[in-house]
Structure 1
């Protein structure tokens, strides 16, 4: 159900409807029904958000929002920091058209103290130091070296495509190429590289759609929502992988309801329960299939007439060129197999091995970013500071030996500074190491949990969390 912001929440509302209205902050915030993740478009209540002590009704704008369904995650909330983190200055002009009133003068947030205020000030300091400006030489080097990995993979096939060892070695380099394409397209889609967004989108289309085979629009539709509500049960798509992998006990409720009451799923209750009960054993095998799944989802997303199965939420607008890009990706990939691998069984070996390697290398890093960290209910998220939520749900990865930190940075594509990335999503990755310690010290000052660990220990934490949920499912059963 949508938030119930009624006329009783409005103070001193002008009868001629020509002037701005005055709202109480608590009434707008409490109006959100935390237990619901669906929004009923047939109902006629306003969908209000708060930004800089001003109130905006986004109901009529939701379906036109360029960022897709992510806007729904902040109905009834103070979206000040979320808005400033994810939008360019030009977005404020659009926002002005949605303005409906102000927060009452005695209810405005004007405090100059606290974690959020210090972090805002720190962000401005980083901007003054040039930390939000990218090195074009750095990204040119990254793109060219990554294309050289593809060259190595194809060269091995040209020379040794008739041997199993050559096919397997080439598959490994192809998987590494896809992984690094993922990190680079991630940077461009966060507009970290160019000031003009169109050039970021062009590079993301080349690296993401043509090279990697993932739809940029599909990725942004998921990833924007993840950034707005990390690890929030019922909102963050990155933890909505039940029953393939189940990250919290909240997701277990449907396993033990009657079949008439259970939510729709492509899996039978018996299969779902089996997967959850033994998910620590299935974890690594499942990761090998991640890339194939993401490629299929990308194709479905860009196909004309595609519609979400779960909700009627608005989705990210799709550039028609994306379908062409995905076709080109599979064209060059299968043509390479056809030209340089003479035997059918070796061609199949290359296909499955390269796909599995790509899925494993991407998801090993991807899962460490947030999975196994604190899961929030919508109500907990609603009552938590936006920046604090980014910190407590994220995990930074460091090298056990500082001398090899560069290896972790390269392999993880900068995502090992996950907390810093969530606080400053448009900051280029090559600046994260400059701000990491300052962020950690600020979190310690305000007793906000800041988690750093090694790749192996982080993976152990992930497996431990899967085991805890698995054990809970056994008890419920």
Structure 2
């Protein structure tokens, strides 16, 4: 089998979007010739499951848990034990995602992060080294097995309800919104000139386009909207690189670490972002000024520099080309009115305005929730304890890109956002059954809690 060497894609254990199974390789030397590739791969996976298997070596949980180092990584998926040590560097989602689950049960996170796990199982097969002994429980003994079973049943119910099917029109309308705002900004400056009032106004339009573009690329990073994975990849790199000016692979590797170990220090990079951006109970917020400054500088300084550094170190020419096209587009469209220096100022002014919006929307659901070091909780508890929602309204849905439903998004990352409100009552019911608090706040309170040192929940 051949794998992409560079980390990219959905940030998952193996990413369908980046393996290009519909165009490249179905198995070792067996080429795929047409659009039936996905069906063929799934049928092959199912057929292999039906074949008589040789007896596998059996392990107890204590033995699996010992293999939790960067140089020795085992994990369990559906009671099967996999040694991913030698393959971690080639993992499309980055080696950290695998390392964060070394020595643990990864069944639910595996299912959560893969739009089509049947195909991925073909690539797991060479990594299989055994299975749990018959007397061993499905999960580690410290986990609530009934809660795990109830959550898995909920997921099966939602799959039956087609809650993971994306509405293509919804996302194209969102893309149209971004493109129209960008075009409108250029038309205004072309027609009315580049006076300072016009500059402020078009900066506002471009800031809205950038923020909504952030929400759109977030969708593209999680979902398989198109039937052919290469189109998912192309759409995300277009939105993230060309419209946002950031590396798609950098974002994927960073963001999905946040998803798999939410609010767990230091595995979640969103709570380990350096001295200027200290947050939470483990890194206490001592003054509001640090958060205010950090929010304003997050996009134009920290994210931009980090993205450039990652692209340079990995020699990622594809992302470098897409990011370069972002700056070329700005210089072509706004350079005649502002010059080179003025256009650079405009770009960073727009990012400076966008930054607090994105920082507050993404962090309002996490900073005030549980932060801890690794406790090896089950998937459902980890996400619910570390995440809260913001009340639904037409404005809140638009302003947050539906990330006001962060609980549902974190439990089901590959679910399209237009379905979050439909599944929220079922998630809330499961929380009530198992005594977990389902936190849902007004948006102003959620923003206020970001600035409040006392908002960090004591545990």
Q: What is the TM-score normalised by the length of structure 1?
A: 0.78
Q: Does 1:324 align with 2:356?
A: no
Partner of 1:475: none
Alignment of 1:207-218 (within 5 A): 207-218=239-250
From 241, 246, 265, the equivalent of 2:273 is 241
From 265, 269, 281, the equivalent of 2:289 is 281
Query: 1:112 Cα deviation (Å)?
Result: 11
Query: 1:62 Cα deviation (Å)?
Result: 0.9
From 50, 75, 78, the equivalent of 2:76 is 50
Alignment of 1:66-465 (within 5 A): 66-68=92-94, 69-87=96-114, 88=116, 89-109=118-138, 114-251=146-283, 277-278=286-287, 280-293=288-301, 294-305=303-314, 318=316, 320-341=317-338, 350-378=346-374, 380=375, 382=376, 384-399=377-392, 405-465=393-453
List per-residue Cα deviations over 1:197-252 (Å, max 9, x = no partner).
22111111111100111111000010111111000011000111231122245347
Structure 2 CA distance for aligned equivalents of residues 201 and 348 of structure 1:
28
Query: 1:184 Cα deviation (Å)?
Result: 0.7
Contact 1:70 1:225 in 2 (8 A): yes
SS of the aligned residue for 1:417 comes to: helix
- Unpaired runs of 5+ residues, structure 1, are 1-17, 34-38, 253-275, 307-317, 400-404, 470-477
Query: 1:395 Cα deviation (Å)?
Result: 1.6
Partner of 1:260: none
Total equivalences in the alignment: 397
List per-residue Cα deviations over 1:137-159 (Å, max 9, x = no partner).
21121111221111122222223
Query: 1:410 Cα deviation (Å)?
Result: 0.9
Runs of 4+ in structure 1 off by over 4 angstroms are: 110-113, 346-349, 466-469
- Report the aligned-residue RMSD: 2.5
- Residues 112 and 281 of structure 1: is their aligned pair in 2 closer, same or farther, counting only changes over 3 Å? closer
- Residues 364 and 249 of structure 1: is their aligned pair in 2 closer, same or farther, counting only changes over 3 Å? closer
Q: What is the TM-score normalised by the length of structure 2?
A: 0.81
Structure 1 CA distance for aligned equivalents of residues 314 and 202 of structure 2:
37
Contact 1:299 1:326 in 2 (8 A): no
Of 224-233 and 287-296, the range deviating more from structure 2: 287-296
List per-residue Cα deviations over 1:301-357 (Å, max 9, x = no partner).
122556xxxxxxxxxxx5x3211110010111233332123797x657634431211
Q: Which has the larger radius of gyration?
A: 1
Contact 1:55 1:101 in 2 (8 A): yes
Contact 2:70 2:99 in 1 (8 A): no
- Unpaired runs of 5+ residues, structure 2, are 1-53
